[in-house]
Amino acid sequence: MEKPNENLTPDFKQRFSGSFYGVLKWTNLDELWQKIKSQADADWYIYSPGHDVPESTVTNERLFTFIDEINDLLHKEHEKDYCGIVYVDDKDKPSFVKIFDPNNLGVSCGFSDNPPLPGWILSKIKPMALENSVAPTQSRQRWWNKIFS
Protein backbone atom coordinates (compact mmCIF):
# COMPACT_ATOMS: atom_id res chain seq x y z
CA MET A 1 0.00 0.00 0.00
CA GLU A 2 1.34 3.42 -0.95
CA LYS A 3 1.87 6.02 1.77
CA PRO A 4 0.17 9.37 1.11
CA ASN A 5 3.42 11.41 1.06
CA GLU A 6 5.35 9.13 -1.30
CA ASN A 7 4.09 11.04 -4.34
CA LEU A 8 5.44 14.36 -3.07
CA THR A 9 9.13 13.73 -3.61
CA PRO A 10 9.03 12.78 -7.32
CA ASP A 11 6.68 15.70 -8.02
CA PHE A 12 9.07 18.09 -6.28
CA LYS A 13 11.99 16.75 -8.33
CA GLN A 14 10.04 17.10 -11.56
CA ARG A 15 8.94 20.62 -10.73
CA PHE A 16 12.44 21.63 -9.59
CA SER A 17 13.84 20.50 -12.95
CA GLY A 18 10.97 21.94 -14.98
CA SER A 19 10.60 25.21 -16.88
CA PHE A 20 10.95 28.54 -15.10
CA TYR A 21 10.72 32.19 -16.07
CA GLY A 22 13.51 34.54 -15.05
CA VAL A 23 12.54 37.60 -13.06
CA LEU A 24 14.73 40.12 -14.84
CA LYS A 25 13.69 43.49 -13.45
CA TRP A 26 13.42 44.62 -9.86
CA THR A 27 9.90 45.87 -10.61
CA ASN A 28 9.00 42.35 -11.80
CA LEU A 29 10.32 40.97 -8.51
CA ASP A 30 8.11 43.43 -6.59
CA GLU A 31 5.13 42.23 -8.66
CA LEU A 32 5.99 38.58 -7.94
CA TRP A 33 6.19 39.18 -4.18
CA GLN A 34 2.84 40.99 -4.30
CA LYS A 35 1.21 38.12 -6.21
CA ILE A 36 2.53 35.56 -3.73
CA LYS A 37 1.31 37.65 -0.79
CA SER A 38 -2.12 38.25 -2.32
CA GLN A 39 -2.58 34.55 -3.15
CA ALA A 40 -1.11 33.22 0.10
CA ASP A 41 -3.19 30.68 1.96
CA ALA A 42 -0.67 29.28 4.46
CA ASP A 43 0.26 26.72 1.81
CA TRP A 44 3.91 27.60 1.13
CA TYR A 45 7.04 25.74 2.16
CA ILE A 46 10.29 27.65 2.55
CA TYR A 47 13.42 25.57 2.04
CA SER A 48 17.10 26.39 1.94
CA PRO A 49 19.32 23.60 0.56
CA GLY A 50 21.86 22.69 3.20
CA HIS A 51 19.27 23.07 5.96
CA ASP A 52 16.61 20.67 7.19
CA VAL A 53 13.71 20.02 4.85
CA PRO A 54 10.58 21.62 6.31
CA GLU A 55 7.90 19.24 7.48
CA SER A 56 5.07 21.72 7.21
CA THR A 57 4.03 24.89 5.44
CA VAL A 58 4.65 28.26 7.05
CA THR A 59 2.08 30.74 8.27
CA ASN A 60 1.31 33.71 6.06
CA GLU A 61 3.00 35.93 8.63
CA ARG A 62 6.23 33.92 8.39
CA LEU A 63 6.00 33.86 4.59
CA PHE A 64 5.59 37.63 4.45
CA THR A 65 8.53 38.13 6.83
CA PHE A 66 10.69 35.87 4.66
CA ILE A 67 9.69 37.73 1.49
CA ASP A 68 10.51 41.09 3.06
CA GLU A 69 13.85 39.85 4.41
CA ILE A 70 14.94 38.08 1.21
CA ASN A 71 13.91 41.10 -0.84
CA ASP A 72 16.10 43.33 1.36
CA LEU A 73 19.00 40.86 1.10
CA LEU A 74 18.76 40.60 -2.70
CA HIS A 75 18.64 44.37 -3.18
CA LYS A 76 21.56 44.87 -0.80
CA GLU A 77 23.85 42.09 -2.04
CA HIS A 78 22.99 41.88 -5.75
CA GLU A 79 24.26 45.32 -6.67
CA LYS A 80 22.97 45.33 -10.23
CA ASP A 81 20.33 47.40 -11.96
CA TYR A 82 18.53 44.16 -12.81
CA CYS A 83 17.40 41.16 -10.78
CA GLY A 84 17.97 37.99 -12.83
CA ILE A 85 18.54 35.63 -9.88
CA VAL A 86 14.93 34.69 -9.12
CA TYR A 87 12.98 32.18 -11.23
CA VAL A 88 9.28 31.34 -11.07
CA ASP A 89 7.20 28.53 -12.58
CA ASP A 90 4.17 30.69 -13.40
CA LYS A 91 4.23 34.50 -13.39
CA ASP A 92 0.47 34.82 -12.84
CA LYS A 93 -0.10 32.01 -10.37
CA PRO A 94 3.27 31.19 -8.80
CA SER A 95 3.67 27.91 -6.95
CA PHE A 96 7.44 27.31 -7.17
CA VAL A 97 10.15 29.97 -6.86
CA LYS A 98 13.93 29.51 -6.98
CA ILE A 99 15.98 32.29 -5.40
CA PHE A 100 19.71 32.20 -6.03
CA ASP A 101 22.17 33.52 -3.49
CA PRO A 102 23.93 36.60 -4.91
CA ASN A 103 27.15 35.38 -3.28
CA ASN A 104 27.01 31.89 -4.84
CA LEU A 105 26.05 32.32 -8.48
CA GLY A 106 28.65 30.03 -10.02
CA VAL A 107 28.92 30.35 -13.79
CA SER A 108 27.01 33.47 -14.75
CA CYS A 109 26.64 32.58 -18.41
CA GLY A 110 27.14 29.52 -20.51
CA PHE A 111 26.91 25.89 -19.50
CA SER A 112 28.00 24.28 -16.26
CA ASP A 113 28.12 20.58 -15.42
CA ASN A 114 27.55 21.45 -11.79
CA PRO A 115 25.33 24.55 -11.57
CA PRO A 116 24.75 25.99 -8.10
CA LEU A 117 21.54 25.16 -6.31
CA PRO A 118 19.22 27.98 -5.36
CA GLY A 119 19.90 29.48 -1.97
CA TRP A 120 16.19 29.38 -1.18
CA ILE A 121 13.08 27.75 -2.57
CA LEU A 122 9.46 28.73 -2.08
CA SER A 123 7.17 25.87 -3.02
CA LYS A 124 3.60 24.75 -2.59
CA ILE A 125 4.90 21.19 -2.90
CA LYS A 126 6.66 19.57 0.04
CA PRO A 127 10.39 19.83 -0.68
CA MET A 128 12.87 16.99 -0.73
CA ALA A 129 16.49 17.26 0.34
CA LEU A 130 18.77 18.71 -2.30
CA GLU A 131 22.44 18.10 -1.75
CA ASN A 132 24.23 21.39 -1.64
CA SER A 133 27.87 21.06 -2.67
CA VAL A 134 28.65 24.35 -0.93
CA ALA A 135 27.67 24.58 2.73
CA PRO A 136 25.89 27.79 3.73
CA THR A 137 28.28 30.43 5.04
CA GLN A 138 28.14 31.48 8.68
CA SER A 139 26.51 34.78 7.72
CA ARG A 140 23.80 32.96 5.73
CA GLN A 141 23.32 30.53 8.62
CA ARG A 142 22.84 33.47 11.03
CA TRP A 143 20.45 35.16 8.58
CA TRP A 144 18.38 31.97 8.24
CA ASN A 145 18.33 31.42 12.01
CA LYS A 146 17.25 35.03 12.61
CA ILE A 147 14.17 34.53 10.46
CA PHE A 148 13.29 30.98 11.53
CA SER A 149 14.16 30.87 15.21
DSSP-derived letter for residue 4 is: G
pLDDT mean over 119-143: 78
Top pLDDT among 50 and 132 is at: 50
For residue 98, pLDDT beyond 90: yes
Top pLDDT among 105 and 6 is at: 105
DSSP-derived letter for residue 31 is: H
The Cα 27–Cα 7 span in angstroms is 36
Top pLDDT among 134 and 14 is at: 14
Predicted confidence (pLDDT) per residue in 10-57, tens digit: 689 889 989 999 998 999 999 999 999 999 998 999 999 888 999 999
Ranges of each domain in the chain: 14-148
Cβ atoms of 100 and 118 within 8 Å: the answer is: yes
